[in-house]
Amino acid sequence: MSFCLTSSSTANNYEEIGFIGEGTYGTVFKARDLVNEGQSVAIKKVNVALYEDGVPPTLIREISLLKQLEMYEHPNVVRLLDICYAKRLEKEKQLILYLVFEYIEQDLGKYLSHCPSPGLGPDRIKDIMYQILNGVDFLHSNRIVHRDLKPQNILITNSGRVKLADFGLARIYEDSRALTSVVVTLWYRAPEVLLGASYASWVDIWSCGCIFAELHRRKAFLNGQSEPDQLSKIFSVIGSPSESEWPEEAYFPCNSYAGFKAIPLNTLLPEMPPEACELLKAMLRFNPRLRITAKEALNHVYFDEYVLHPPIYEYECSNKSNQSTTTSTRNGTKNQGTK
């Protein structure tokens, strides 16, 4: 991985060839790497506010962490190939950060929208969910909380490989200037985040649960229109929590959401097998400390007899000539890169 410091390096190394999308904090476009035989890359431009004494220290820490993670080359985490700063004028109090990632063909949101009726088969859902949790377990094992897991931040290659994107950038965004007024979707946020309480890695498990349900429904599971409405949607499914579970620092009093009764998940999601409903329930617990961890989820009975999706295995074998052709099973692939 290189780490360039001037805009001329970016201009010389990459040729922009197409717009991908714009989020609250950055614009993403497809580019061609002119140094590495024209391979396609995705470049995210982020405007970062500067302190009086220069680059925010949080930015330096996060970049260092992202660079360290790249050494693992985890199969379910998108590769960060390059990080560049644009040169700025003396009077400007911001810089443009260029994050160069491997280019992946589509995100999970587009993948689901293009999926023909009746939707994904149970084996494909299991395969996608296992890969997501494998990536989350890797991040959590390295003390990284994603904080914004959603279908748009989960990428899928044409061969079926799932990769988590936009991780480790949360603190960078805190030092960034918003480019748009778009509100980050509420649909995958854990209740403790919506309530303004302290949170940790458990928020990612809640997001995984919402995505898990969406893989079966092909539409958002909890689609609130505001933070209070999102909380109502949540409690209408899991029921009202007890007063003892309610965070002391919550924005809203506990009695604001009293009286909700839990609905069995198999009623809301009749297409989910019993083991899947059991895992989903363990992910969507109000008390974050009672939620299943990513590592525990990977060993859940739902994944018994799990085998990697065949196209992924064939893709790996074609790129690793020395790899054995023995069938790759769950026990042989879980927790990759978490040493």
102-121 per-position pLDDT tens digit: 999 899 999 998 888 888 99
**288, pLDDT greater than 70:** yes
**Does the pLDDT value for residue 172 go beyond 50?**
no
* pLDDT score recorded for residue 5: 39
Catalytic-residue membership of 148: yes
Q: What is the CATH number of the domain that holds 233?
A: 1.10.510.10
Which pLDDT score, from 0 to 100, does residue 207 have?
96
Kindly state whether residues 200 and 261 are assigned to the same domain.
yes
Tokens found for residue 181: 């007024």
CB atoms within 10 A of CB 191: 26
Tell whether the model's pLDDT for residue 339 goes beyond 60. Answer: no
- Domain assignment present for residue 217? The answer is yes
Q: Is the separation of the CB atoms in 282 and 299 below 8 Å?
A: no
Say what the pLDDT of residue 87 is: 59
Please check whether residue 179 lies inside any domain of the structure. no
How confident is residue 317, by pLDDT bands cut at 50, 70 and 90? very low
Q: Does 219 share its domain with 151? A: yes
Question: What pLDDT is stored for residue 126 in this prediction?
Answer: 95
81 and 158 both lie in a single domain: no
| Structural domain for 123, as ranges | 106-164+185-339
Annotated catalytic residue within 82, 127, 148, 204: 148
The CATH number assigned to the domain holding 63 equals 3.30.200.20
Residues 134 and 270 in one domain: yes
* Residues 215, 66 share a domain: no
* pTM, rounded to two decimals: 0.81
Average pLDDT of span 60-81: 81
Q: Are 186 and 226 in contact (CB under 8 A)?
A: yes
Listed residues 104, 121, 146: the one ending a domain:
104
**Domains in the chain: how many in total?**
2
Q: Judge whether 324 lies within some domain.
A: yes
| pLDDT tens, position by position, 192-221 | 999 988 888 899 999 999 999 999 998 999
The greatest distance separating any two alpha carbons of the chain, rounded to the nearest whole angstrom, comes to 62
What does the pLDDT read at residue 180? 39
Distance (Å, rounded) from C-alpha 184 to C-alpha 24?
Answer: 7
Q: How far is CA 82 from CA 14, 130, 328, 338, in A?
A: 11, 28, 32, 23
What is the pLDDT at residue 335?
A: 42
334 and 190 part of one domain:
yes
Query: Do 132 and 86 reside in the same domain of the chain?
Result: no
Average pLDDT of the chain is: 80
- % of the chain with per-residue pLDDT over 70: 76
Is the CA virtual torsion 301, 296, 331, 307 positive or negative?
A: positive
